[in-house]
Structure 1
Amino acid sequence: QIVLINYFISSGTFPGASMPFFVVLALATGLVIGLFNGFMIGNRRVSAVIVTLAVSIILVGLVQFLSSGNPPGDVPKLFNDLYNTKFLSVPTPVLFWVLLTASVWLLLSRTIFGRYVASVGENAEAAHFSGVPVQRTVILAHTLAGLIAAIAALVQTGSIAVGSVRIGLDLPILAVAATILGGVVFGRGDGGVWGPFFGALCFALLFVVMTVLGIDEPGKLIAQGVIILGAAIFYGVRVRNP
């Protein structure tokens, strides 16, 4: 959905619209897409991986159709200005990233909803017989994920300051790899929020270092692939030896 939100902001579909309008539009888009994903997964019992991947492909295809495969246009300057601001010498995106992670951690570790999510993630059938509203939990969790993805879309759009029909296409696999590096085991309810946070931080630092060293794009892709492969091997070992 990152590419769709970027298109809304940069294509001129809403001429003269203010930044608050685009923020509300982005969040609403994320909520609707997340709600749809959650409904398909929670009510229709379709695989979460298949649903999210299929919806992502549909949205990318939709944007490329609407834009004829060409970059939509420029992003309002205020997005890039806010992206480049600092608070107490800390870049605003970094500060926002930490605050968002902390908020999700509080939600998952200090609320009934968080306990429901952990129970469903570990064993949905057992959670159901324990009185956990499994379908509602799945729908709410994916709706929240859609909202967070919308926030990521706003940040990504501010970072590149232009429209792009390929923005964020590599993020799903990077998110999975960062989650694995962070110690999460899918289907067992193992893991937390801070592990994936530091996994993503490792990827970000790696890209910064490679840029400073002057490594070109093919080299970055190779390094990225090697790390993802290593994460997959590590995950397999961990699953076999819990």
Structure 2
Amino acid sequence: MAFARSPVAAPFQRSVRWCLALPPAYAGTACLVGCAYLVRPNLLSPLLFLLILRQAVPLGIVTIGQSLTMRCRSLDLSVGGVMAAVSCLQTSGILTIPTPLACVLCVLFGAAVGAFSGLLIAYRRASAVIVTLSVSMILSGIVVAISQFRASGDAPELLTTIGAARPGGVPVALLAWLAILVAVALFMRWSVFGRVVDALGSSPRAAELSGLPHLRVIFIVHVVSGVMSACGALLLLSFVGVGSATLGKDLALNSLAAAVLGGVTFGDGRGGMAGPTIAAFMVVFLFNFLTSFGLGEAGHLMLQGAIIGFAALAYSLRGGGA
């Protein structure tokens, strides 16, 4: 005799399957916030929580560009070099032009770096790892060489003013992150470009045979990633306030980890734009949570390695390739 299925069972099972299919960042963030509520509730106070969100802005913006390159089966390790170069341009006195024009020039510089990498990767079929890592090292070396003659100084007053601004109590950097995120998410969801990215990620060979502009798309996502790196550097500099040759040096690997933990892997964008965003916040919140227990620089390095290792494990468990 067959038993009738409970009318509540099917929706419940679907809900469980939906939760299990979510990227690891969702469960990780929920656990972190729950732990903080129990042992460090001050981290969830409006003031500190907004501060942590602001700290997550540079990583979140860089992760947007990183996730797009990964969806096209590429990646961008030039982030650290671009951010160091932007810091140098803004704080070393090389540029003697008005700050708004200097910011535009920095964004164009990021686009140029992305275009250079994109040309080699898309049209010369060079390795994305080798090209972007080489670019990062070259840029970092140039910044170190320049810093011997022009030491980094304070960020321009306009940048620091923007970094300190809180219209309605919300940091400007957070509003900028939200605006960029929504714009990119809507564009990727409703544009032909977004569909080509999905087709390219699913099967590059099929995309090529079908006549899709796959090489142009790879080139464009690297340009976008360069722009995101430059924007992230400007926002980071706006609330750090002081230039540095090592500004944002950890963001390349952290953005890779955030993208994977957010459900984006090489050729697979199931996490969309929301998953990597949640993951970027999770990574920064985790650092703040453990810092509240006295975690030092050595602990931060070990934690960063553990996050990247966990992201690699999550990627392999989802069936990713080398």
Q: Does 1:117 align with 2:197?
A: yes
The 5 Å alignment of 1:78-89 reads: 78-89=158-169
Matched with 1:108 is 188
Partner of 2:94: 13
**Structure-2 residue corresponding to 1:74:** 154
1:1-242 equivalence runs, <5 A:
1-15=82-96, 17-68=97-148, 71-239=151-319
Gaps of 5+ in 1: none
Instruction: Quote how far apart the aligned CAs of 1:182 are.
Output: 0.3
Comparing 163-172 and 44-53, the one that deviates more: 44-53
Q: Percent identity?
A: 36
Q: Is the 8 A contact 1:119 1:189 kept in 2?
A: no
Equivalent pair of 2:204/2:214 in contact (CA under 8 Å) = yes
The 3-state SS of whatever aligns with 2:266 is coil
CA contact (8 A) 1:123 1:188 kept: no
Q: How far off is 1:186 after superposition?
A: 0.9
2:262–2:279: 8 Å Cα contact kept in structure 1? yes
* Aligned residue identity for 2:89: F
Distance 2:320 2:222 in 1: 28
- CA RMSD of superposed structures (Å): 1.8
Q: Following the alignment from structure 2 to structure 1, what is the Cα–Cα distance between the partners of residues 92 and 156?
A: 11
- Would the alpha carbon gap of residues 240 and 32 (structure 1) be closer, same or farther in structure 2, given more than 3 Å must change? closer
Offset of 1:166 from its aligned partner? 0.6
Helix, strand or coil at the partner of 2:244: coil
Please, what TM-score do these two structures have when normalized by structure 1? 0.93
Q: Residues 4 and 78 of structure 1: is their aligned pair in 2 closer, same or farther, counting only changes over 3 Å?
A: same
Alpha-carbon spacing, 1:77–1:64, altered in 2? closer, same or farther (3 Å): same
* Structure 2: stretches of 5+ with no match in the other structure: 1-81
TM-score computed with the length of structure 2 as normaliser: 0.70
**Alpha-carbon shift at residue 157 of structure 1 (Å):** 1.4
Alpha-carbon spacing, 1:110–1:104, altered in 2? closer, same or farther (3 Å): same
Higher relative contact order (CA 8 A, sep 6+): 2
The structure with more radius of gyration: 2
Pick which of 33-42 and 202-211 moved more.
202-211
**Count of residue pairs brought into register by the alignment:** 240
Residue 93 of structure 2 contacts residue 150 of structure 2 at CA under 8 Å; is this kept in 1? no
Q: Secondary structure at the match of 1:74?
A: coil
Does the 8 A contact of 1:71 with 1:165 survive in 2?
Answer: no
